């Protein structure tokens, strides 16, 4: 019997990783470190949600753990970084506004996964 709760891609199994960061940028060296951290997020498939918030869709918890581990391996020595995983269902319940105008949330793009 087919059960939608156990399909590979559903709103409760798929996750969004949100990375929040506040890195020092006082010196040239600190700016380079912050820029490198951002570039590594982009190279790993994250996209900018807001200036210091990046997000990435993951089809499974295992996939999300791989990307979370990469973030932890690339943490700069200074600054604050937060990593949060939420389900696609929770992400879909977010209300986004541009000024006072409500805007639709982006749907996850189709990503090819090779095993």
Tell me which long-range contacts 27-31 makes (C-beta under 8 A, separation of at least 24): 30/78
Q: How many helices (H) and strands (E) does the chain have?
A: 3, 6
Q: In terms of Cα–Cα distance, which of 76, 80, 70 is closest to 30?
A: 76
Contacts of the segment 97-101: beta carbons below 8 A, 24+ positions apart? none
Tokens of 57: 């869709």
Please return the burial class of 67, using the count of CB atoms within 10 Å of its CB with bins 0-12, 13-18 and 19+. buried
Handedness of CA 68, 58, 54, 36 (dihedral sign): positive
> Does residue 22 have a known ligand-binding role?
yes
Q: Retrieve residue 75's tokens.
A: 């943490």
Per-residue pLDDT of the chain (115 residues; tens, 9 = 90+): 445 555 556 777 899 999 999 999 999 999 999 999 999 999 999 999 999 999 999 999 999 999 999 999 999 999 999 999 999 999 999 998 989 898 887 666 555 555 4
């Amino acid at each position: 019997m087919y059960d939608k709760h156990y399909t590979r891609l559903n709103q409760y199994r798929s996750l969004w990783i949100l990375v929040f960061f506040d890195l020092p940028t006082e010196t040239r060296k600190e700016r380079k470190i912050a820029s490198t951290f951002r570039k590594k997020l982009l190279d790993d498939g994250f996209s900018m949600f807001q200036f210091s918030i990046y997000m990435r869709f993951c089809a499974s918890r295992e996939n999300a753990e791989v990307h979370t581990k990469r973030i932890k391996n690339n943490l700069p020595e200074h600054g604050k970084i937060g990593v949060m995983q939420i389900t696609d269902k929770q992400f879909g319940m977010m209300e986004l506004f541009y000024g006072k105008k409500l805007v639709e949330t982006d749907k996850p793009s189709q990503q090819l996964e090779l095993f």
